Amino acid sequence: MPTTPQTTIHHDHDTCVSGALTRAEALCASRGTKLTPIRRQVLELVWSGHRPRGAYAILDDMKVDGKRVAPLTVYRALDFLVENGLVHRLESLNAYIGCPSPDHAHPGQFLVCRDCGDAIELNDQRVSAAIADSARARGFQIDRPTVEVRGLCPVCQNRPHPSHSPADTERPEARQPVTRQKAES
């Protein structure tokens, strides 16, 4: 049994995380930015669940030398990671998620499941183009478009109902259908 078992679709998540870290190292090296130990650890913790994660959830796991770090430490690292495109911020969840393709600049477009909490990253050119057109028509200069679609992912559509679901045993991290959920525990 692997050490980090919490993802929706089965895959070799340990490899998945180490890959993300390796790519991040390479990217920072090529750009002359510094992926310090703290930043690296935060990035690893963002990836750990392969789903959106809140800053304080990361903070809880951030023991450095057995000592709990300050919130600012985590936020500063997250700012760096977001600025460098290694992590996206999900505005509607106040949460962060690792970007699988940080090498090319892109805004985040996400399908966020209200049940399992997973966030699927899209990169739909039609959506981007439609937004760009609409903004241009009004003379608005875009910094960063945000597209976050809340709903129900295909997997969760096929489960009877989250709160009564017998699948809780095999997917213990399932979210309750609350109004405004947290990204994680």
Partner DNA sequence: CGCGGTGTTGTTATATGATTACATATCCCC
Partner DNA sequence: GGGGATATGTAATCATATAACAACACCGCG
| Binding site feature residues for Zn(2+) | 113, 116, 153, 156
Partner from a copy of itself, DNA, Zn ion, none contacting 99, C-beta within 5 to 8 A by type: Zn ion
- Contact of 101 with 95, CB cutoff 8 Å: no
Radius of gyration of the chain, Cα coordinates, nearest whole angstrom: 17
DSSP category for residue 168: G
Do 47 and 7 contact (CB within 8 A), yes or no?
no
In the window 81-120, what residues touch a copy of itself (CB under 8 A)? 91-92, 109, 111, 113-114, 120
* CB 174, min distance to Zn ion, A: 18
CB atoms near residue 170 (< 10 Å): 8
The partner in contact with residue 16, picked from a copy of itself, DNA, Zn ion, none with C-beta cut-offs of 5 to 8 angstroms by kind, is Zn ion
**Buried b vs exposed e over 68-77: b needs ≥16 C-beta within 10 Å?**
ebeeeebeeb
Binding-site members are: 113, 116, 153, 156
Q: Interface with Zn ion by CB under 5 A: which residues? A: 13, 16, 50, 99
Q: Interface with a copy of itself by CB under 8 A: which residues? A: 79, 91-92, 109, 111, 113-114, 120, 122, 124, 126-127, 129-131, 133-135, 138-154, 157, 179
